[in-house]
Amino acid sequence: MEETYLLNVEGVKKKILHGGQGELPKLQDGSKITFHFQTLKDDFERTVIDDSREAGIPMEIIVGKMFKLEIWETLLSSMRAGEVAEFWCDAIHTGMYALVSRGMRRIAEGRDPLEGQKHRCGMGNMFDYHSTGYEDLDELQRTPQPLIFIMELFRVEEPWAYKRDTWAMSKEEKLAAVPVLHREGNRLVLHKEFGQAAEKYQEAVICLRNLQAKEKPWEDGWLKLESLVTPLVLNYCQCQLELGEYYEVLEHTTELLQKHNDNAKAYFKRAKAHAAVWNEREAREDFLRVAHLDPSMAAAVKKELKQLGERMRKKHVEDRKRYQGLFQPPRGP
């Protein structure tokens, strides 16, 4: 099935390759569109630039979340579920494609799409770094040109019909999600579901870190968010202790203490992680800091130090027996 016609947008032509079903979707802010796409040059070879099927998962965009290639929302709004269509778009609509493609490729590679960028618009970052990091995209950036998009629409979901990913939330939605995630994490801890609880705490931290990135460090807004981050990180670390992920605890508590070197609970959790991986000296130092910073935890510290001493003595005895066995001469027949 092929039918070519103009959309009510200058510089866009559409050809239906396979008809869809149902009515045209009614898009609104927050709607999630799931689709596959292929991007081609408008040349004799129809050179393929990107193909979402190579990544193995469909593309998703959220309507109204300032996706940098605005024309895609227009194209997708003209499609029915199950439809496959080819769109020719003039250069007036494709100037930002190189930057959009760069971000999508980096995500597919498991990298941060914003890594290395300054807090500026996409074009500003292009002038700073002169390259997208991909030769074919650099060529597109230098010479804007018409592109062809082949799209297959799978579904359009209303804002309330799916779980919102953190990156797709507004500032208000992220702030509202944090206490909900915190409570859910606490509930899971009571049921000893430490792995799932850790995921909830981590998701809440990501929400807050995203908001912090827009604030100036150590100013009021940043500090207010940091005060919400700290207990979540500590809860996350407690879950990791229960799961035996001691080096994960060492990493996160050390990072926390670099900013808040008077946090007794962070020292206490780091000390327990050190003790678990036989770092006796570091564990003792951290436990003593806890007792100094918070005298109310002295009894708990005393108990942990006693247990540490017993574990280390037992280990030394076992090690001594093991080494004696290694160097003892073999007995005769």
**Domain ranges, ordered by start, for the chain:** 4-157, 171-321
- What pLDDT does residue 164 have? 63
4-157: CATH class: alpha beta
The model's pLDDT over 190-212, given as tens digits with 9 standing for 90+, comes to 999 999 999 999 989 988 998 99
13-17, 65-69, 154-158, 278-282, range with the lowest pLDDT: 65-69
171-321: CATH class: mainly alpha
Calculate the average pLDDT of the chain.
86
Rounded distance between C-alpha atoms, residue 70 and residue 85, angstroms = 18
- What pLDDT does residue 319 have? 74
Q: How many CB atoms lie within 10 A of CB 203?
A: 17
- What pLDDT does residue 70 have? 86
- What pLDDT does residue 111 have? 61
Greatest distance between any 2 Cα atoms in the chain: 98
- What pLDDT does residue 169 have? 73
- What pLDDT does residue 29 have? 79
pTM equals 0.54
- What pLDDT does residue 205 have? 93
Whether the pLDDT of residue 261 is over 70: the answer is yes
- 129 pLDDT band, cuts 50/70/90, is very low
Please list the alpha-helical segments (H only) found in 149-276. 171-190, 194-212, 220-243, 246-259, 264-276
Q: What is the mean pLDDT of residues 308-312?
A: 90
- What pLDDT does residue 271 have? 96
Cβ burial of 178 (10 Å; 0-12, 13-18, 19+) is buried
Whether the pLDDT of residue 283 is over 60: the answer is yes
Strand partners, 39: 50, 149
Q: What is the mean pLDDT of residues 294-320?
A: 90
Unique residue bearing structure tokens 């866009």: 12
Is there a contact between 96 and 124 (Cβ–Cβ < 8 Å)? Answer: no
49-53, 115-119, 246-250, range with the lowest pLDDT: 115-119
The model's pLDDT over 37-46, given as tens digits with 9 standing for 90+, comes to 999 999 999 9
- What pLDDT does residue 163 have? 61
Q: What is the mean pLDDT of residues 233-250?
A: 96
Please give the angle made by the CA atoms of 202, 207 and 211, to the nearest 5 degrees.
Answer: 140
Is there a contact between 39 and 50 (Cβ–Cβ < 8 Å)? Answer: yes
